[in-house]
Chain A
Amino acid sequence: MSTDRPASTDRPASTARPTSAARPLKARRAKAFPGPAVLALTALVATACGSSEPPSLFAGGKVSVGAKNDQPGTGVVHTYKFSGFDITVAQQILKAVGAEPDFGIVPSEDRSAVLTEKKKDLVVATFSITVDRMKTLDFAGPYASTYQGIMVRKNDKRIRKPEDLFGKRVCTWPGTTSATTLEGPEYSRIAVYERPDASSCLTDLKVKKVADAVSTDQMILYGFTQENPDLKVVPDITYGSVNHYGIAMAKGHRKDCLRLRDALRDYVNSNNWSHDFSTSLWAATKADPTWETDYKPRTETIDALSCRDRPRT
């Protein structure tokens, strides 16, 4: 994966000068005044003072994108190839702005850091837009919205409604809003515990059977069930408010962010969004007859949350 920034394409043009012999007297006098040099310097100073925005992230044509590798349906790597809805969204949106993604793996807890430390240009990794994150990052989004839910073993008939989870062990992983939501006092009767990542939680649920359930966003959970037919999402159990996934970038690229927002708005309003969603997350569309209403973001929400330091109200 590439993390290099494209070099600026704005370079001062060299100035051709006539030979001394061919120059008339006036021109020779003019030589004493270094006009081109002064103009170039003025232009340079004006550029430096007038614009604090760095070169476009899309100028080089290749954009480094952080993605998940362990979430089937949203972001997964099979035989060195990324796939999932996040991946498709990144490809479609970047194509619309004349660039293409160079994907790299980013763990959930590092998603903010790779952007602020300039290790990645964008993160498209089921990254929820929150008020706290909007203070340090810009988001173009949401490109999908989902509630937090619960996934259990398919043959487990004990868990059907929220109260059934009281006293049960529920696995989450750090760096996600799912873990934060279940920390609230209203969920104190659920035995929530953390494992380092999604794969560890799946192992606890499927193999070791030390977890009764895994909790994260329903969209991600449906993706897991696509590769784990022995697991199921409990549709009637949701937690917290709806998560809005956004394309994240470091602050300071507002023009690029607005271009992504416009491309995203067009994408969501086209048939491509529904096609790509149902292709990547067929388990969600199969289980939820109102999946388009549930997961597709509204244009007003995109406008309210995109490229801002705080949500527009």
Chain B
Amino acid sequence: MSRPAGSGDVHHSATSHGDHSIAAHDIRNIFIKWVMHPSARWLPLLLACAAVVIAGTDWPDGPARQYTLWGLLTGLSVLTAAARVLDRSPRDARLAGVLSLVSVLATVGGWLAFQSVRTHGEIDVTGQVRAEGSQPLDDAAHRTLTLRLDARALAEPRNALRLTLAITDHDPAGPTCLPDTRATLSLLTAGTADRTADLRPGGTADFALGARTTTVTIGVRLHTGRGCRMDVRTTGAVLHDQ
């Protein structure tokens, strides 16, 4: 098959052999006609912008890095769509076709990436962790702190929770106990496997949650030196899929 040289001869340049070739030829011509139509050059851009607007209204938050693929694909779709719009009278139908095709595919890819983040992406619930129990904590009194996440925080189903705790000296003007301080975290939620994790100050623990977990309860027990009094604070709580 010969290739179309420009917009003027695209409908008549192909040589056909047999029924299949005629059908392929017709489809190709229809596609080229559509691609080269003056009003069609706006469609990829409209599609890309519509995807961005819908994503914006349905934005699930969470760490920015999980939107990298969506951002790259959306950028690509908008750029190629814009290039197609700016190319008002393309001399080569192939270039217009490639730009439109890449833009549409990138839009679809970006949309799928966005949906993947919505369904499986990380959700920051740091502000929704409730701490129960009096502070400061010490080692001798065997007092514990309880961290809870309620049903509202767990509205989006995820099967794991990543928790980061800051542990600091209650009195920063007094002797520091940080090098000798650790915390044991115990997942106390019904329906999940019993799990404990040892944490250094500023450390992170990952807990597997049940599929239908509606509340999460975690007990914090401090191990520190004699006479040490420490404050415990949640600095990060992220729901995610393992």
Per-position 1/0 for B161-188, Cβ under 8 A of A? 0000001110111111111110000000
Check if A132 is an interface residue, CB within 8 A of chain B.
yes
Tell whether, in the assembled complex, residue A241 and residue B173 are in contact, meaning their CB atoms are under 8 Å apart: no
* Complex Cα gap A244–B179 (Å): 11
Q: How big is chain B's contact interface, by range?
A: 20 to 34
Smallest CB gap from B168: residue in A: A131
Q: Which of A10-18, A19-27, A153-161, A304-312 contacts B (4 or more CB under 8 A)?
A: A304-312
Tell whether, in the assembled complex, residue B175 and residue A240 are in contact, meaning their CB atoms are under 8 Å apart: yes
Tell whether, in the assembled complex, residue B169 and residue A240 are in contact, meaning their CB atoms are under 8 Å apart: no
Considering the complex, which residues of chain B in the window 166-218 have a beta carbon less than 8 Å from any beta carbon of chain A? 167-169, 171-181, 200-203
Task: Return chain A residues, CB-CB under 8 Å to B169.
Answer: 130-131
* Complex Cα gap A239–B229 (Å): 12
Task: Return chain A residues, CB-CB under 8 Å to B177.
Answer: 241-242
* Candidates A147, A177, A180, A311; contact of B178 at CB < 8 Å: A311
Smallest CB gap from B199: residue in A: A313
Tell whether, in the assembled complex, residue A180 and residue B227 are in contact, meaning their CB atoms are under 8 Å apart: no
* Complex Cα gap A312–B202 (Å): 10
Tell whether, in the assembled complex, residue B178 and residue A304 are in contact, meaning their CB atoms are under 8 Å apart: yes
Check if B73 is an interface residue, CB within 8 A of chain A.
no
B94 to chain A, nearest CB (A): 54
Per-position 1/0 for A230-264, Cβ under 8 A of B? 00000000111111100000000000000000000
Task: Return chain A residues, CB-CB under 8 Å to B180.
Answer: 301
Tell whether, in the assembled complex, residue A177 and residue B179 are in contact, meaning their CB atoms are under 8 Å apart: no
A242-B174 contact in complex given A304-B179, A305-B179, C-beta closer than 8 Å: no
A130-B227 contact in complex given A313-B178, A313-B179, C-beta closer than 8 Å: no
Check if A83 is an interface residue, CB within 8 A of chain B.
no
Check if A300 is an interface residue, CB within 8 A of chain B.
yes
Task: Return chain A residues, CB-CB under 8 Å to B174.
Answer: 130, 177, 180-181, 240-241
Check if A87 is an interface residue, CB within 8 A of chain B.
no
A244-B176 contact in complex given A131-B169, A313-B200, A313-B202, C-beta closer than 8 Å: yes
Smallest CB gap from B177: residue in A: A241
Check if A128 is an interface residue, CB within 8 A of chain B.
yes
Task: Return chain B residues, CB-CB under 8 Å to A312.
Answer: 179
* Candidates A128, A243, A300; contact of B179 at CB < 8 Å: A300
Smallest CB gap from A145: residue in B: B175
Check if A170 is an interface residue, CB within 8 A of chain B.
no
Check if B60 is an interface residue, CB within 8 A of chain A.
no
Tell whether, in the assembled complex, residue A242 and residue B181 are in contact, meaning their CB atoms are under 8 Å apart: no
A139 to chain B, nearest CB (A): 10
Tell whether, in the assembled complex, residue A305 and residue B176 are in contact, meaning their CB atoms are under 8 Å apart: yes
A241-B172 contact in complex given A304-B178, A313-B179, C-beta closer than 8 Å: no
B195 to chain A, nearest CB (A): 22
Tell whether, in the assembled complex, residue A244 and residue B178 are in contact, meaning their CB atoms are under 8 Å apart: no
Q: How many residues of A contact B (CB 8 A)?
A: 26
Smallest CB gap from B172: residue in A: A131
Check if B45 is an interface residue, CB within 8 A of chain A.
no
* Candidates B168, B175, B229; contact of A130 at CB < 8 Å: B175
Tell whether, in the assembled complex, residue B178 and residue A238 are in contact, meaning their CB atoms are under 8 Å apart: no
Check if A221 is an interface residue, CB within 8 A of chain B.
no
Smallest CB gap from B169: residue in A: A131
Tell whether, in the assembled complex, residue B171 and residue A180 are in contact, meaning their CB atoms are under 8 Å apart: yes
* Complex Cα gap A239–B174 (Å): 11
Tell whether, in the assembled complex, residue A238 and residue B227 are in contact, meaning their CB atoms are under 8 Å apart: yes
B170 to chain A, nearest CB (A): 9
Check if B225 is an interface residue, CB within 8 A of chain A.
yes
Check if A65 is an interface residue, CB within 8 A of chain B.
no
Check if B20 is an interface residue, CB within 8 A of chain A.
no
Task: Return chain A residues, CB-CB under 8 Å to B175.
Answer: 128-130, 177, 240-244
Per-position 1/0 for A20-48, Cβ under 8 A of B? 00000000000000000000000000000
* Complex Cα gap A304–B171 (Å): 18
Task: Return chain A residues, CB-CB under 8 Å to B203.
Answer: 313
* Candidates A242, A300, A304; contact of B227 at CB < 8 Å: A242
Most buried by A among B172, B174, B202, B203: B174
Tell whether, in the assembled complex, residue A241 and residue B226 are in contact, meaning their CB atoms are under 8 Å apart: yes
Told that A177-B173, A241-B177 touch, could you supply 4 new A-B pairs with CB distance under 8 A?
Answer: A240-B227, A241-B225, A311-B178, A313-B200
Interface of A toward B, CB cutoff 8 Å: 128-132, 134, 147, 177, 180-181, 184, 238-244, 300-301, 304-305, 310-313
Interface of B toward A, CB cutoff 8 Å: 167-169, 171-181, 200-203, 225-229
- The 25 listed contacts between A and B (C-beta, < 8 Å) are A129-B176, A130-B173, A130-B174, A130-B175, A131-B172, A131-B176, A131-B178, A132-B173, A177-B175, A238-B226, A239-B227, A240-B174, A240-B175, A241-B175, A241-B227, A242-B175, A242-B177, A242-B225, A242-B226, A243-B175, A301-B180, A304-B178, A304-B179, A311-B176, A313-B203
